[in-house]
Structure 1
């Protein structure tokens, strides 16, 4: 493997390790229900980035699933926020 590919792989590994550490920190500091609801938004972000970068149009099933993920995540966040205010 050429040197630049090793560097890209290493940089990707560092980014992944940092992201994992941030998720662990979020679960430690925040409410697990709210954190896991936000974590599901990764699916939607992945579809959006694939569309923006590679012009990959999501299928109708992926779009419907994305909408369901957003609605469920917002519902969970609303429920969690209600618990905090009580």
Structure 2
């Protein structure tokens, strides 16, 4: 077997190993980026949910105050 053939096989094997490693690392990078994007979306959703819940609680408190006033007026009318 000629020496140049052995050298080509070794070079191709090393090139293949490097190529596989680069592809795997690129895939891991893309998965990590996608996961980070998803986590940020969930964080934003959670923050909006909390803000909406706080606004709802404020509205309910205002309604409770109004209802108490209406009840007092109705009791005075009776």
User: TM-score normalised by the shorter chain: which range applies?
Assistant: 0.3 to 0.5
Work out which structure has the larger RCO, using CA pairs closer than 8 Å and 6 or more positions apart in sequence.
1
Higher helix share: 2
Bigger Rg, structure 1 or 2: 2
